[in-house]
Amino acid sequence: MNANFSFMKRVLAASAMAGAVMALGSQAFAGPGTWVGTAITNNNKWGSATTFASNFSPFQANTPGFGSNTNVLVTFGSASGNTASIPLAGSPNVSGLTFNNNPGPVTLGQQFAIRMGSTGITMSGTGTQAVTIGSLSQLADSAISANGNQNLTISALSANGKGMTVSGTGTGKVVISQYTNASDPKVGNFAVASGDVTISAIPTSTDPFTGDTIFQGPTQFDVSGGILRLTGDNATTSNVSLVGSGSLNATGGTTIVRNASLGGSGTFTIGGGSDKFIADGNVTLGANLTTIASVTSQGVATQLQAAGDGASLAGNLAQDGHFKIDFSNNTGLYNNFTAWNLLSAAGTLSGNFSDVALSAISPSSPYAAIGTAAWTDNGDGSWQSATVTTANGDQWLVYSSTTGNLVVVPEPSTMVFAGVGVAMAGWSVWKKRRLAMLAKKN
């Protein structure tokens, strides 16, 4: 494993974006405010100037979030004027934001960060107009309640060492385009209890004093319900915990985490092609988890890796639960002994799945006849699909829990061993088939 992905020795004390964390204090706070601004004019802003105060109801001497009127709940969406882009003329301090059945899209500008306390963000109502927040900086452990049908996009979320929990019963999805947590020491978890959450990027930076890579993810991802999607290239020292009915998708790039304890009854999905999920530590797959690996015609690199850290964590990968292989993006014919290394471990690749099958396959694939039926357990750590006749003769797919390889194996009568270097999984299947044929002849 590249040293850049081992635990950091030093972390910068402040994030380069989203502003500094500010103490809220114990002053007497004014009441909450509801945005009622309508026309897109120079005065249609959220800022500290007195002229902006009329954009909120009830009218208050100080605009909510500024002056003495800080740490208040600000509501959008209950007035007909909430369809415009709302520029920020400063960085307000609020306890939370509510978007209530907004009749049109709401965009809070990216000029300044909104600094948010413990109340968090609440989405409600049946309206489906999107909500976009340019920059959000956490002042406390907080939450996002996605109980509405609006999609919420946060372009940049700075955690500042604070935890975030996402839950919700609505159909709206939550997308965090960029998540950063530059706390030192590293604190603050990101939890998904329900709902559909995407984190598109967790950037890294370089400590100018030591040259160490600074990882800016949370201490841990906790997924107990709903689904967390890690898309794009993400490198973080976060542990990942999957329990209950929670699901985890790692697609669209390379996701690097610390340890991954993936249990519960949900689904763990890894994309195909160049997509990878790498643990800079150990990986454990639970007995009731469904793991799905997507195989493409170009995908020959290891998709799930327990790489270890070269020190205290050996990089062990324990297999268990249900294993599904997504073959839906494959329409080509494969030569015998074509192999995909789906799982690997720098330390020990141990255990075995309770069942193996294709989760999906293209009807135009030469291997479509395999279908999604359960594969045969050969009793030696390998699993074989049903036999399919292709232009290359009889072939079948074999997964070996010993090697983590998926191999295209030929019909025994066509196999030539000299110089082929057949995987042990393929050899095991061939041997059993050959003995069965000899028994019939005798």
Averaged over 374-399, what is the pLDDT? 95
- Residue 79: the pLDDT is 53
Sign of CA dihedral 276, 194, 101, 95: negative
**124 pLDDT more than 50:** yes
Report the alpha-carbon distance of residue 262 to residue 428 in Å, rounded: 30
- Residue 58: the pLDDT is 85
- Residue 183: the pLDDT is 76
- Residue 42: the pLDDT is 56
- Residue 49: the pLDDT is 85
**372 pLDDT more than 90:** yes
Domain ranges of the chain: 3-23+99-388
Comparing 251 with 194, the larger pLDDT belongs to 194
List pLDDT tens digits, range 71-122.
899 988 755 445 568 889 999 999 999 998 776 788 888 789 999 999 999 9
pLDDT confidence band for 433 (50 / 70 / 90): very low
Dihedral pair phi/psi, residue 434, rounded to 5°: -65, -45
CB 403 within 8 A of CB 410: no
- Residue 84: the pLDDT is 66
**348 pLDDT more than 90:** yes
Q: What is the pTM of this model?
A: 0.84
Comparing 103 with 266, the larger pLDDT belongs to 266
Query: E-assigned strands of 263-334?
Result: 267-270, 276-279, 283-285, 290-294, 304-306, 317-319, 322-327
Residue whose token pair is 């799905």: 292
- Residue 436: the pLDDT is 45
List pLDDT tens digits, range 100-110.
877 678 888 87
Averaged over 395-403, what is the pLDDT? 95
* Of 382, 372, 362, residue with least CA distance to 425: 382
Averaged over 246-265, what is the pLDDT? 93
Query: Who contacts 297 (Cβ-Cβ below 8 Å, separation ≥6)?
Result: 329, 330, 331, 332
**368 pLDDT more than 90:** yes
Report the alpha-carbon distance of residue 259 to residue 285 in Å, rounded: 11
Q: How far is CA 360 from the centre of its chain?
A: 22
CB 194 within 8 A of CB 216: no
Q: What integer best gives the mean pLDDT of the chain? A: 82
Tokens coding 229 = 């999607």
Does a cis peptide bond (omega within 30 degrees of 0) precede residue 58?
Answer: yes
Q: How far is CA 269 from the centre of its chain?
A: 9
Averaged over 134-142, what is the pLDDT? 96
Query: E-assigned strands of 87-243?
Result: 88-89, 93-100, 106-108, 114-124, 131-138, 142-146, 152-158, 164-167, 174-176, 179-180, 190-192, 196-199, 204-206, 213-215, 220-223, 227-231, 234-235, 239-242
List pLDDT tens digits, range 15-39.
333 333 333 333 333 468 888 876 5
